[in-house]
Structure formats: C-alpha cells, structure tokens
C-alpha cells in the first residue's frame, strides 16, 4: 500500500510517497514559488536523484497535477499508476479544539477546517487549497487530515487557559494549543521502541529544535504541556521568532517603532529570535561558525537558546514529576552535538549523563547516555511524513 503525504504552504508544497510495507519514501519533492514568478518543481527519486521542472504554477491545483505527473513519470517516477495510491495524508497546522486525532476528510471536516482559519490565517488556507486540489485531481481516493495541534489536545485546562478573562477563551478561542504535535508524537513513540519499554510507563521531555522549536512534556504517550501556545510564537527563542516575552514589550515596541498590528506580527515572527540577537543569521550553523570566530552576539544567541531549553527541561521535569528520557530532534536537535552537550551539562540532578563520544552522532536514532544514567538522552530524527502516512493508513484501513 502506498500513501501520498502532502504539506501545503502558501507558496510551496512538499510531498512524499511512502510505501507502507517498507515505511520508506519512494519519491518526494518540493513545489516552490506557487503563484509567483520562477515556480519550480524539484522531484527526488528513491535513490536521491534530482529532477527539476521549471514551469508556470499559478495555483495549488496545477501544483498537484504536476506532482502526480512526476510521480508516474516513466523516466523518474515513483509509481507505475496513480491507482497505486490508496490514500492521501495532509498536514494541517491548526485543528483548534475540534480535532484531538487525525480524521478522514468529509464535508463536515472541511467546514470545521474553514472555521479554524481565524486561528491560523497564514497556514490553514493553503492546507485547505491542497486538500481541494487533491479532491479534484484524485476523486474517490480517501484523504486524511493530520493536525499539528491534535497531539496536545490532551493538555488539562490549568495548562491551556491563560491568565486572561475567561470569556476570551469562549469568545475567541484564546488558549494554549501547541504545535509540532506530529513530531512530538512520532519521536515519543520511537523512544519507547528504542528503550524497549511501554510508552504508557514513560515520562518523556521531547525537544523539537529546528528553525521553529518547541518542547513537550509527555506522560504515558500523552502531551501534558508544551512550550508553544496560542500561536507558534510562544516558548523558546527560535530562528526568527522571539519566543516568550513580557507581553508589555509588544505594545512598548509598537509605540516606540510606530508599528501597526501586521508589522508587529511580522516583526515578532521574522526579525527576532537568534537572527535578531546575533544580527547574522537565523541558521544555527552560521551562528555557530560566527561564535567560534569570536562574535559575541552570535555566542549570546546560542547561550540564550541553551538557557531556554534547559529552563523548559527543568520546568517539565517538575510538571512530570521526574523524567525517564529527554529526546532531541529536528535540525538543531538531531545535528548540533555541541548544543546538546551544553544543554545537558550539570543535569546530574535529573540523572542525565551523556557520553561525549556517543553524542557526536548526527541524524541517527541513538541513546547518547552513559550506561548508568537514570534519565536517558536520545537523539531521534523526526519523520512527520511517516507519522502522517501511518495515521492515514490506519484510518483508511478501518
């Protein structure tokens, strides 16, 4: 059985075809600059061979059509016939409070997705466009929505309600939702396999540290707290996002810099974080190089990030009442061994003790702890596409 996984952004579309027998991607790619000049589809075969198709791609329907053509290309395609695709799994950013699990898409689900647009105005519209395009191009093939927010719906009200008038929760849906749920769910399930223990018995802190970054406290396979909030701006300082701030700073900067609401929103999402502090880049690799060359602001950006992550680990250890495993995943978590080492320094109080040699690992599933360590530190590459394919497969097989 083969599942097509689609992740639609406003001007981009990522896709993978996953063979559910082997759980491997047999073809994948990216459509970039949809609706803009210079649109392009870059397809990669199972062996990683690259095929670039430069053609006008005015909308998501045309993008999906091109993806499907690429998938069955006799020259470099992944499958012989589109009939081999049994289901399509879509990444949807925001499911609000309506979805605590992935769902098969029907008319009622489409309406609910539209109702969530207010909560994710930048993300949900392209997700919906991608679903509609697939419905048009692949009629009759079951489609599933997998939400970034769903995994965190297990949080309790004392975790997700903010210190605001309660009516605002009822009126506007203002609460903590949390994001990266598909990734936190996937790596926590892998952790149980790696540790050879039932997930139900584990207390896990999952650190998804990429360009966007969030941490989740997971007990018995369920999210009980997470660092992102009403939007993905909250929590850790990130590549370009500020992370948590004293809320008074927002109005203060708006007044001082004469920024309107949209400008402030853009500022907090794209000009802050590691980019704003370092003044160099949002990319941790560039910042690490600059810090090694003695750039003080680059060093500061890395130190802030390390401090933020350590703070959440401490907080979530308290929330969980102990920790069996800390997981590092996503671009920085999987690759930046020096950052992992810095974060885990002086964490003996939690039973953390990492092996410097083992910690040199990159993008591999490894327990990097010393043998005696009470709390295991795991590096687990995330695979949101596989998690989406697994959910899709499960729902359409029922």
Please report, as ranges, the residues that interact with ligand ADP according to CB under 6 A.
210-212, 239, 283-285, 288, 330-332, 335-336
From the CB of 237, what's the least distance to ligand ADP, in Å? 12
Residues 6+ apart with CB under 8 A from 365: 190, 194, 378, 379, 380, 381
Q: Which is nearer to ligand ADP, 87 or 333 (CB)?
A: 333
Q: What Rg do the C-alpha atoms of the chain give, in angstroms?
A: 21
Q: Which is nearer to ligand ADP, 27 or 381 (CB)?
A: 381
No. of H helices and E strands in the chain?
14, 14
From the CB of 211, what's the least distance to ligand ADP, in Å? 4
By CB atoms closer than 10 A (0-12, 13-18, 19+), residue 282 is buried
Q: Which is nearer to ligand ADP, 97 or 283 (CB)?
A: 283
From the CB of 213, what's the least distance to ligand ADP, in Å? 8
Q: Which residue is nearest to ligand ADP (CB)?
A: 331
131 vs 144: CA distance, rounded Å: 9
Q: Which is nearer to ligand ADP, 87 or 239 (CB)?
A: 239
Closest CA to 120 of 98, 151, 144: 98
Q: Which is nearer to ligand ADP, 235 or 239 (CB)?
A: 239
326 vs 207: CA distance, rounded Å: 7
Q: Which is nearer to ligand ADP, 44 or 219 (CB)?
A: 44
Closest CA to 350 of 393, 321, 381: 321
Please, are residues 34 and 59 in contact by the beta-carbon 8 Å criterion? yes
From the CB of 349, what's the least distance to ligand ADP, in Å? 27
DSSP character string of 169-238? HHHH--S---S-HHHHHHHHHHHHHHHTS-GGG-EEEEEEESSSEEEEEEETTEEEEES--SSTTSSS--
Please, are residues 285 and 301 in contact by the beta-carbon 8 Å criterion? no
Please, are residues 112 and 98 in contact by the beta-carbon 8 Å criterion? yes
From the CB of 386, what's the least distance to ligand ADP, in Å? 15
148 is a catalytic site residue: yes
Please state the φ and ψ torsions of residue 304, each to the nearest 5 degrees: -65, -45
From the CB of 91, what's the least distance to ligand ADP, in Å? 12
Q: Which is nearer to ligand ADP, 278 or 392 (CB)?
A: 278
Angle at 388 between CA 386 and CA 393, to 5 degrees: 90
Kindly name the residue from 148, 324, 367, 391 that is annotated as catalytic. 148
From the CB of 106, what's the least distance to ligand ADP, in Å? 30
Q: Which residues are catalytic?
A: 148
């Amino acid at each position: 059985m083969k599942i097509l996984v689609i992740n639609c952004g406003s001007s981009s579309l990522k896709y993978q075809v996953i063979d559910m027998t082997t759980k491997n991607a047999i073809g994948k790619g990216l459509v970039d600059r949809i609706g803009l000049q210079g649109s392009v589809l870059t397809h990669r075969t199972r062996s990683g061979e690259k095929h670039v198709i430069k053609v006008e791609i005015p909308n998501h329907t045309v993008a999906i059509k091109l993806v499907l053509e690429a998938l069955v290309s006799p020259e470099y395609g992944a499958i012989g016939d589109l009939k081999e695709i049994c289901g399509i799994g879509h990444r949807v950013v925001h499911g609000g409070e309506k979805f605590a699990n992935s769902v098969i898409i029907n008319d009622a689900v489409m309406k609910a997705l539209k109702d969530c647009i207010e909560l994710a105005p930048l993300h949900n519209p392209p997700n919906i466009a991608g679903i509609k395009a697939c419905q048009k191009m692949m009629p009759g093939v079951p489609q599933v929505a997998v939400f970034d927010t769903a995994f965190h719906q297990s949080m309790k009200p004392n975790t997700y309600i903010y210190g605001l008038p309660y009516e605002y929760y009822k009126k506007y849906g203002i609460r903590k939702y949390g994001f990266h749920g598909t990734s936190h769910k996937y790596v926590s399930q892998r952790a149980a396999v790696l540790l050879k223990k039932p997930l139900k018995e584990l207390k896990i802190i999952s650190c998804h540290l990429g360009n966007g970054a969030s941490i989740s406290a997971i007990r018995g396979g369920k999210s009980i707290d997470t660092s992102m909030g009403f939007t993905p701006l909250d929590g850790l300082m990130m590549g370009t996002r500020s992370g948590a701030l004293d809320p008074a700073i927002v109005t203060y900067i708006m007044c001082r810099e004469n920024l309107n609401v949209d400008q402030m929103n853009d500022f907090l999402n794209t000009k802050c974080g590691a980019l704003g502090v370092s003044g160099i880049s949002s990319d941790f690799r560039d910042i690490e190089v600059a810090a090694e060359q003695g750039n003080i602001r680059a060093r500061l950006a890395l130190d802030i990030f390390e401090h933020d992550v350590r703070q959440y680990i401490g907080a979530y250890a308290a929330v969980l009442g102990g920790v069996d495993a800390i997981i590092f995943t996503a671009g920085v978590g999987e690759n930046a061994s020096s950052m992992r080492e810095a974060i885990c320094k002086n964490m003996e109080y939690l039973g953390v003790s990492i092996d410097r040699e083992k910690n040199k690992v990159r993008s591999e599933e490894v327990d990097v702890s010393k043998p005696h360590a009470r709390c295991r530190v795991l590096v687990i590459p995330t695979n949101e596409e596989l998690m989406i394919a697994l959910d899709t497969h499960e729902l359409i097989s029922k």
